[in-house]
Amino acid sequence: MLGLGLALATLSRMRLVIARCSVDYTGRLSAHLPMAPRLLMLKADGSILVHADGGSYKPLNWMTPPCSLKEEDGLWTVTNNKSGDTLRITIEEILHDTTHELGVDPGLQKDGVEAHLQELLAADPTPIGEGYSLVRREFPTAIGPVDLMCRDSEGVSVAVEIKRRGEIDGVEQLTRYLELLNRDPLLAPVQGVFCAQVIKPQARVLAEDRGIRCVTVDYDTLRGTVDDSQPTLF
């Protein structure tokens, strides 16, 4: 219990740094951001995100956990402990540097359709996969609950992330869950299923590249309001 408490406390901390910096990423590809003022977000799970004022909500560059940060004078080196990819942040000037305790996050409150999809698929997970059985809804992890934890017909654990619209952010979210769950010898190997009413092509490509199966479901059919015996054009 003490370990769990410490983990929850750690996960609630975030460091925000505004700095004039340049960023160089080295991994499966290389990328460079020239010197400019940017927001650096460092989360307690080890991830780091580099934001600019434009570009909507998406970071310009980032590193997902598990990773480590080495701080030197004027240089931060972030290394992904799994892939070996590196993010080198050269800092010319720090304009702001604060750390905040955010407390225990209550989790995302899903909209009515998304929550109802989860409820319907928990009652009958066979639309996700033939022979699937439910283990638990909102399966807890240190970084948030998995929508559904199931077992397939062979008893293999399957983590299911459910969205109304399947986008890249949802795939990234499920990827983080799978990385964590597969460290548990009582669960591993854990497969992943990304389930939504509509899945964007880019999200599908990313999911399949990571070995995550994509499933689309129809809300009305799950509710039983559509008569599948009637022929349709598509």
| CA 18/CA 109 separation, integer angstroms | 30
- 185-222 residues labelled b (16+ CB within 10 A) or e (exposed): eebeebbbbbbbbebeeebbebbeeeebebbebeeeeb
Q: What percent of the chain has pLDDT over 70?
A: 86
Tell me the average pLDDT across 130-153: 93
Mean of pLDDT over the chain: 86
pLDDT tens-digit readout, 148-165: 999 999 999 999 999 999
Q: Identify the weakest region by mean pLDDT among 21-25, 64-68, 206-210.
A: 64-68
Looking at residue 37, its pLDDT comes to 96
First to last CA, the chain: 53
pLDDT tens-digit readout, 158-212: 999 999 999 999 999 999 999 999 999 989 999 999 999 999 999 999 999 999 9
232 has pLDDT over 70 = no
Looking at residue 27, its pLDDT comes to 86
Tell me the average pLDDT across 26-54: 91
Q: Identify the weakest region by mean pLDDT among 17-21, 34-38, 122-126, 221-225.
A: 221-225
109 or 114: which leads in pLDDT: 114
| CA 148/CA 76 separation, integer angstroms | 38
Cα-trace Rg, the chain: 20
Rounded alpha-carbon distances, angstroms, from residue 63 to 99, 101, 122: 19, 21, 33
Q: Is 50 exposed, middle or buried (0-12, 13-18, 19+ CB in 10 A)?
A: buried
1 or 217: which leads in pLDDT: 217
Domains of the chain: 14-101 (2.70.180.20), 112-223 (3.40.1350.10)
Tell me the average pLDDT across 118-144: 92
Give the model's confidence band at 108: pLDDT under 50 very low, under 70 low, under 90 confident, else very high: low
